[in-house]
Amino acid sequence: MAIDHLDGRIIVLLAEEPRIGVLEMSRRLGVARGTVQARLDRLQSNGVIRGFGPQVDPAALGYPVTAFATLQIRQGQGADVRAYLTTVPEVLELLTTTGSGDMLCRLVARSNADLQRVIDRVVGFDGIVRASTAIVMENPVPLRVIPLVEQAARDREET
């Protein structure tokens, strides 16, 4: 759960050059291969590293438009809405937030015009009272974790 400095370096290295392999990592970090291997195993069983799945870019897939929809859910319909939205491929993420039955929904679409179709499909579901959508224009900071990892490693050291 607490991240070591070496753990941090391992994660950063892995983020920079994912195909690197344990052996090469041990060389670059100046530690024994077994150590890296053990650390990696620990990080994975700890759940710190969830996996190494491919990072797919929706834009390159033909879905360059991203939007966030804030949904207001009718009382007691939360589970239904969740189940429904799970079946919509264009729904990339769904979160419930503080506030009266609110959900936040990350969408993608093939175009601005297509976004209309997606939104209709999403908010057309009975159980959604109201929805407001914001289109994403730019993404100055794409989803990242490295700075957080480094911070966590630093915290650990400074103790």
Partner DNA sequence: CGTACCACCAAACAGATTGCCCAGTGGATC
Partner DNA sequence: GATCCACTGGGCAATCTGTTTGGTGGTACG
d(CA 27, CA 50): 24
Q: Which residues bind a copy of itself (CB under 8 A)?
A: 1-3, 11, 14-15, 18-19, 46-63, 66, 68, 82, 85-86, 88-99, 102, 104, 106, 108, 134-145, 147-152
Report the nearest approach of a copy of itself to the CB of residue 103 (Å).
8
> What track of x and - describes contact with DNA for positions 6 through 35 (by CB under 7 A)?
x------------x-xxxx-----xxxxxx
Neighbouring CB atoms inside 10 A of 51's CB total 5
Binding mask 94-133 for DNA (x = CB under 7 A): ----------------------------------------
Q: What tokens does 41 get?
A: 């195993």
Nearest to 105 by CA among 131, 78, 141: 131
Phi, psi of 92 (to 5 degrees): -85, -25
Q: 46 near 1, Cβ under 8 Å?
A: yes
Report which residue type is found at 24.
E
157: partner contacted, choices DNA, a copy of itself, none (Cβ within 5-8 A by kind): none
What is the CB neighbour count within 10 angstroms for residue 87?
8
- Residue 61 interaction partner, one of a copy of itself, DNA, none, beta carbon < 5-8 Å per kind: a copy of itself
Q: Which residues bind DNA (CB under 7 A)?
A: 4, 6, 19, 21-24, 30-35, 37-39
